[in-house]
Structure 1
Amino acid sequence: MLNRTLVPDSIQVNDIKFIAPQQQQLDNGIKVFTINAGKQDLVRIEFIFDNVNFDPAKPLQAVVVNHLINNGTATLSAKDIADKVDYYGAFLQTEYGADQSSIKLYTLNKHLKAVLPILKSILDESIFPQQELAIFIQNQKQSLQVSLEKNDFLARKNFAHAIFGDSSYGSNITFADYDALQQDDLLAYYHSAYKPENCTLFVAGKFEQPEFELLNTIFGQEWNNKAVSRKNKFVFPASPKGEILIERPGAIQSAIRMGAMAIKRTHPDFAGFQVLNCLLGGYFGSRLMANIREDKGYTYGIGSAVVSMKDAGYFFIATEVGADVCGSALNEIEKEIDILKTDLVPDAELDLVRNYMLGSMLGSLENAFSHADKFKNIFFSGLDYQYYEKYILIVKTIDANSLRLLANQYLNTADFTKVIVGKK
């Protein structure tokens, strides 16, 4: 009989294997990275485009084009696209990020020949119908109106704008920005961004030479958009220090978002900083959760994260607490940071975090799609698989003294931007 009162032994993950992609190139120069793995006749093809031509006066162009790109082409209506994709049991997904935008196709291999021309029409001849744009503007303005009543949304929005200004990382979107959207501007952005020169392909699943040749025929030989564009490049000053209080007298809860500009994935301290972040607020057993949620009962959840983007990295802590305990919660957050800066992390706690982080990484590599996602992280950061080797080694070997040094270097609360929405 299994004795469920006994805690199972904790064993550290020792070996994490990554599947490196095969690199190929279409006839028009598009790079194709393929993780050919899995037993099912299923493939995901992801077209990723760098965001370009950012204009602070028109901050919504990239996100709206990505959202509406499959809502009508010169030969297919939005309904035609949806019906045809659904008929073949495929799935189209668009995704916008601060640095790149993408469109993903999930399909069975046997339907690839039928579905790829639909995707080609979307990427080469979308027209952004005025009716679809009008519906989108109406819906998004209503959504924004609802979101502006939420303290956590306001905290996130004002924090991003405070440290990143009017870049694509921190644009302070308003109703006027939606009203200013024009079909001609979307078409101009679409042709500048969605072109072979600005595209990288990531394929995962069952994908052999016949599938590659089909992909090359449709997108390597028949897609020749050569519009001119300018890649986004942002330079940011140091994060503004101090507190931004947005008072809402009737608030029952206050939203807190605090942090500062930080290092990116390419920095040698990044892996160690990730371990430090995990200890502080990066998982359910973190110190912030133990103190602010479990001990004090101020919140249902609190967390911290280190985010790496192309032109910047940043660290933040976020939570919502009862308005009457907001000041106390802020004090407790700073107390936990101060402890990391003065006291050594106990071995047992550090071992738990090591096991959690290594187990999470191993668990995230469950299929060909997740292996492709791991490769994208390093590819767009200009890194190779040695990054993961060093990352795993640091997680396994970093000591308490090194973590204390990192805390003193990167967790200076006096330099944080602190946004509080509600009551303090």
Structure 2
Amino acid sequence: MTTYRTAAEIAHTELGPRPLPELAEQRAATGLSSVDTVLDNGLRVVAVHAPTVPMVELRLRIPFAGTDPMHAARAEVLSSTLLTGTKKRDRVAIDTDLALVGGELDAGVDPERLSISGNALASGFDTLLDVLADVLTGAVYADDEVGRERARLVERIAVARSQPSVIAREALQKHRYGDHPYTREMPEAADVAQVTVEQVRQLHADGVLPRGSVLVLVGDIEPADAVARLGAALGVWSDEREAVVLPDLPELTGGDVLFVPRTGAVQSQLRLTAQAVSRTDAKYPALQLANLAFGGYFSSRLVENIREDKGYTYHARSSVEFTPSGATLLVESDTASEVTAPALLETRYELARLGVVPPSASEVDSVRQYAIGSLLIATASQTGLASQLAALASLGLGVDWLVEHPARLADVTADAIAEAALEFFSPTRYTGVVVGDAAQLPLLRSLGGVTSA
């Protein structure tokens, strides 16, 4: 009978455990061949040669804001029906043409933009572009397709609005930004039910515009050739109007946490937020590392405290959220009702401690390695690189910023991280919401700084 050594046996020798090899030096992506240009129709194009597999990734981001209260509902229906048929192709023909070149296209929308993402075999690049151009200029929004997708959306939104995370997110957005269009991340089901085919068609004509939009291509392509082929394919997509961008958001200021009642809830959702700086700010690398030390990954202080040590929550994290005009910090956790007050207390404590007791040398080394490694992993694939570049493009950034960022992270000093911790994580800078059952949270208001709507 064949016997096998265990992992423990393999890892040991007669002289003791096998030593672990030293980590190899992390190397940033360099030498990426790329073109960053603007076509005659006003569309910015970023094309990158990344021939890891014979595929092409495509990301189109169209500013798609609107101040009309019904805009979110109409935009949601539009994104759900954009790929259901054109003057040349019905839904089946679109899917078939893409499938024949190993490709796909998907559309989505948020308060800022309409997004179209997809990919195809490099040999099918022209077909991918042809289908994209057809959709952008010839989408018909057939009555039956709009009716079917509208009904599906009404049901999906009704279900989503019962979820605690959605309730907490909407409460936080309204608390931060009031009635700003940025808060309309999910339309009301009743509004969606009222959307007409004519309204969707008009929204497409008014809002699906190339000027001010960005298209990213990453894959087994020669950038200059890809841009030329793209320009030919999208030459019919033209308009002198600019795509509509959101108005700037108001600056966040610290203040009380708003309690939002949810009768019968057995868990509470805790969301704290403060103003931050965007990727273009010189302080951003230090802020990024300070955030990781606080709650941005599993070995952070917040997770160690309220998850590992006290068991108040299974989910706790902090993150930098990028907004149309800047960025914010978000701290979030979901807790059992009986430990909501202690969890809020400990979260505030960790915010204060990060500034008073800044990250140690070992913490700094850990978060630095994690940040650089995560970025390199995220951009190692065509999919990840395309998505990263699409996010950067809205800030006017491109390949150079992405390639240079690991070096910026490597250069951040411990003193700079300590300064960022003190500046951005002071508890007085934060506001937020707690969603839960008032009857089960008698101690919450005893902490101070908690008010009701």
Among 308, 321, 339, the alignment partner of 1:294 is 308
Q: Would the alpha carbon gap of residues 230 and 355 (structure 1) be closer, same or farther in structure 2, given more than 3 Å must change?
A: closer
Among 158, 161, 177, the alignment partner of 1:145 is 158
State whether residues 36 and 368 of structure 1, in contact with CA within 8 Å, keep that contact through their aligned partners in structure 2: no
Report the alpha carbon displacement of residue 339 of structure 1 after superposing the two structures with TM. Answer: 1.1
What is the TM-score of this pair, normalised by structure 1? 0.89
State how far apart, in whole Å, the 2-side matches of 1:381 and 1:77 are. Answer: 36
Name 1:169's counterpart in structure 2. Answer: 182
Give 3-state SS (helix, strand or coil) of 1:418's partner. strand
Give 3-state SS (helix, strand or coil) of 1:145's partner. helix
How well do the aligned residues superpose, as a CA RMSD in angstroms? 2.8
Unaligned runs of 5+ in 1: none
Among 340, 347, 353, the alignment partner of 1:339 is 353
Among 127, 142, 145, the alignment partner of 1:132 is 145
Q: What is the identity, as a one-letter code, of the residue corresponding to 1:245?
A: F
What is the TM-score of this pair, normalised by structure 2? 0.84
Tell me, yes or no, if structure 1 residue 56 matches structure 2 residue 77. Answer: no
Q: What is the identity, as a one-letter code, of the residue corresponding to 1:31?
A: R
State how far apart, in whole Å, the 2-side matches of 1:15 and 1:414 are. Answer: 39
State how far apart, in whole Å, the 1-side matches of 2:246 and 2:325 are. Answer: 9
Report the alpha carbon displacement of residue 365 of structure 1 after superposing the two structures with TM. Answer: 2.2
Report the alpha carbon displacement of residue 397 of structure 1 after superposing the two structures with TM. Answer: 4.1
State how far apart, in whole Å, the 1-side matches of 2:74 and 2:360 are. Answer: 49
After superposition, the C-alpha distances for 1:22-49 in whole angstroms (9 at most, x for unaligned) are 2355454533321122153321233321
Report the alpha carbon displacement of residue 422 of structure 1 after superposing the two structures with TM. Answer: 1.6
* More displaced 10-residue stretch of structure 1: 233-242 or 86-95: 233-242
* More displaced 10-residue stretch of structure 1: 140-149 or 314-323: 140-149
Report the alpha carbon displacement of residue 315 of structure 1 after superposing the two structures with TM. Answer: 0.8
* More displaced 10-residue stretch of structure 1: 283-292 or 87-96: 87-96
Give 3-state SS (helix, strand or coil) of 2:167's partner. helix
State whether residues 65 and 190 of structure 1, in contact with CA within 8 Å, keep that contact through their aligned partners in structure 2: yes
Report the alpha carbon displacement of residue 240 of structure 1 after superposing the two structures with TM. Answer: 6.7
* More displaced 10-residue stretch of structure 1: 267-276 or 402-411: 402-411
Report the alpha carbon displacement of residue 123 of structure 1 after superposing the two structures with TM. Answer: 0.7
Give 3-state SS (helix, strand or coil) of 1:376's partner. helix
After superposition, the C-alpha distances for 1:100-157 in whole angstroms (9 at most, x for unaligned) are 3221231123333444332222110112223322333322222222223222221112
Give 3-state SS (helix, strand or coil) of 1:59's partner. helix
* More displaced 10-residue stretch of structure 1: 106-115 or 66-75: 106-115
Equivalent positions of 1:308-347 (< 5 A) are 308-347=322-361
Q: What is the identity, as a one-letter code, of the residue corresponding to 1:315?
A: L
Q: What is the identity, as a one-letter code, of the residue corresponding to 2:296?
A: G
State whether residues 191 and 227 of structure 1, in contact with CA within 8 Å, keep that contact through their aligned partners in structure 2: no
Name 2:417's counterpart in structure 1. Answer: 403
State how far apart, in whole Å, the 1-side matches of 2:364 and 2:241 are. Answer: 52
Name 2:207's counterpart in structure 1. Answer: 193
State whether residues 242 and 414 of structure 1, in contact with CA within 8 Å, keep that contact through their aligned partners in structure 2: no
Percent of matched pairs sharing the same residue: 22
Equivalent positions of 1:198-217 (< 5 A) are 198-208=212-222, 212-217=227-232
Q: Would the alpha carbon gap of residues 298 and 213 (structure 1) be closer, same or farther in structure 2, given more than 3 Å must change?
A: same
Q: How many pairs does the alignment contain?
A: 423
Tell me, yes or no, if structure 1 residue 157 matches structure 2 residue 170. Answer: yes
Q: Would the alpha carbon gap of residues 147 and 378 (structure 1) be closer, same or farther in structure 2, given more than 3 Å must change?
A: closer
Q: What is the identity, as a one-letter code, of the residue corresponding to 2:230?
A: L
Q: Would the alpha carbon gap of residues 387 and 90 (structure 1) be closer, same or farther in structure 2, given more than 3 Å must change?
A: closer
Name 1:112's counterpart in structure 2. Answer: 125
Among 162, 177, 184, the alignment partner of 2:198 is 184
Among 233, 241, 259, the alignment partner of 1:218 is 233
Q: Would the alpha carbon gap of residues 377 and 7 (structure 1) be closer, same or farther in structure 2, given more than 3 Å must change?
A: farther
